[in-house]
A and B are shown apart, each in its own frame.
Chain A
């Protein structure tokens, strides 16, 4: 199961896993907070990559 994750780059898979974990762990959190966290993470990744 999830073998297809290998087809994707680590960065994308990392974001996917973080997002799913957030949805599991922070089920009480507001959706907007989760959107902010996700965007923050995505931007950080790209900035780190460019640095």
Chain B
């Protein structure tokens, strides 16, 4: 399909002055030449409007708020009508030759009262007309669905986003990312070529087979010889269908149990782990407490030991206390502090000491009494001085014994106090150790319960699975048996059909139809495979021609995933990604053309797959080398190419390359558009064939352009 010209009549920013013809963008098509058009215009001066106009014309897609030219609308009074139109002369390419048609889509609206946001309209009517020359003297008009289906056949709607490529906003237009992008591309070409046709053909073939089978069954009933066989065969067919249906259900059931079985390990082991984790936390806490208590007990034990050492300084106790301390040390080393032993030991030591001291006191008292008596006797014998000395020694001895007893009593109290603290700690330790034992039991029990549950559930699932599996295998045997019986009856039926009889003919027809159905199914797979493999080859070829500094293998690895993921990522990489995207799109067009050609060898296809290619803002985010390559290489891959580009992105290098296209091969034209005055709703088209202006962005260059002639 090629577009010769397009007219925009009060469509968006393209205002048509009253009484004047609408503005026309002519692509200057010449037979046997490729059409290359550069439309260089500043931002917001109507470039992308061209693409929207085509979308409106071909597919009736419209942005209600934007479509009507506001300047034209303001000239209509409230309640007045306005008609917006897009017209185009388009070449449909058929295998038998080109066919020129004129397409017109009109949008009629009524002006409403102005709203807060400005002018408002209400749509009244919208219609499309396709005019085709039927004979040299007669044109024929097609309307509505007829016209639409002719356009869709040439350029399926699914392919529009790819051929009318907006480099800036493709990702937004598609609104896709990841595999969905690939899928949409492949589906678009798939649907545009054959899918629905092959699906329908398969359906019609199946219906025909059913009809022939019914015919055969009817015929069989007419023949007595065949009647019983046919009846048996039909019964077997019903039985087989029943088996197959039950088999399907069983397989579903089996899959369900299989899935249950597989999930059980994960589920129940997860539970066991969770139970264990909770008990382990308790255990950890109890063990920490146990450590702390043992530390306290050790400290108290050492204190007691110290007090005992203080309280037993006496020579007569040294041996006994030494033994006791050795015992205590030994117990401390093993972190064992038996309260009763320590307590008994201390009591015994104190008792011994009290006993010894008491005995000494008693002895001293007795000695004192004896000495008193002796003194009295000595007094009588004038031995006073001697007696005084002895008495003093005895008194000293007595006082010393009393001091020891009082010191021991104080130590005993203190030791008792420490022992009481020691007993408390020992009690806490016992409780703590009890908790540890409980936690350990809980861990063991938690594991056991969860694992036991798991094993039970798994066993149940396994049994069910095995049961379903047994049923399946029994059904498989049943199906095999019934199928074999049915085959035998079919064979018998065939034997009973005399050659050349109507029934034989029907059987032969049935066989042909079954083979046709098989071919249709295989063709679908074949074309699917071809589309994928050829798309890859074309993309590689186009990319490698455009890009000189990267091998496709590297780009494919690094960038292809990005392109497929455009929904999430922005354009990067000096234009590599954009170039690859274009290669992908042009590759798609080439694949369609090739597949159409292949299909035409076998079937009567009315389209050739030739496509026009419109590309919007392709140079933005692209470095100069890429811009040059794209300008040089891309036009050679397509029959018609319109490049919409902003002046800031159209470098001298691009223009240099563009001039190189002005050869016998190409008919190149350069267009621009300019906003008239300050009114963004009034855009004028300017153009000049072949001779490109040097610096199109300055006003002088604009003034050198010729105004587009309108018809």
Contacts and interface: CB of A to CB of B under 8 A. Distances in A.
A34 B206 CA distance: 12
Given A15-B516, A20-B603, A38 B500 contact: no
A5 B204 contact: no
Interface in B251-302: none
A20 B505 contact: no
Given A2-B526, A4-B526, A42-B513, A35 B519 contact: no
Contacts of A50: 500, 505
Chain A: interface size category: 20 to 34
Given A38-B208, A43-B509, A46-B509, A16 B516 contact: yes
A19 B201 contact: yes
Interface string B58-91: 0000000000000000000000000000000000
A2 B523 CA distance: 7
A47 B508 CA distance: 10
B51 interface: no
Given A16-B516, A45-B512, A47-B505, A39 B605 contact: no
Contacts of B513: 15, 38, 42
A1 B527 contact: yes
A38 B204 contact: yes
A2 B205 CA distance: 19
A31 B604 contact: no
Contact of A2 (B204, B505, B598): B598
Interface in B25-59: none
B522 A24 contact: no
Contacts of B512: 11-12, 15, 42, 45-46
Contacts of A45: 512
Interface string B584-605: 0000000000010010011111
Interface in B512-547: 512-513, 515-516, 519-520, 522-523, 526-527, 530
Contacts of A8: 515, 519
A35 B208 contact: yes
Contacts of B527: 1
Contact of B198 (A20, A34, A47): A20
11 contacts: A2-B602, A12-B512, A17-B603, A24-B605, A27-B149, A27-B197, A31-B207, A38-B205, A45-B512, A46-B505, A47-B505
Interface of B: 149, 197-198, 200-201, 203-205, 207-208, 211-212, 500, 505, 508-509, 512-513, 515-516, 519-520, 522-523, 526-527, 530, 595, 598, 601-606
Given A16-B519, A16-B520, A17-B602, 10 more contacts: A2-B598, A4-B522, A19-B201, A22-B201, A23-B200, A24-B603, A27-B149, A38-B513, A39-B208, A45-B512
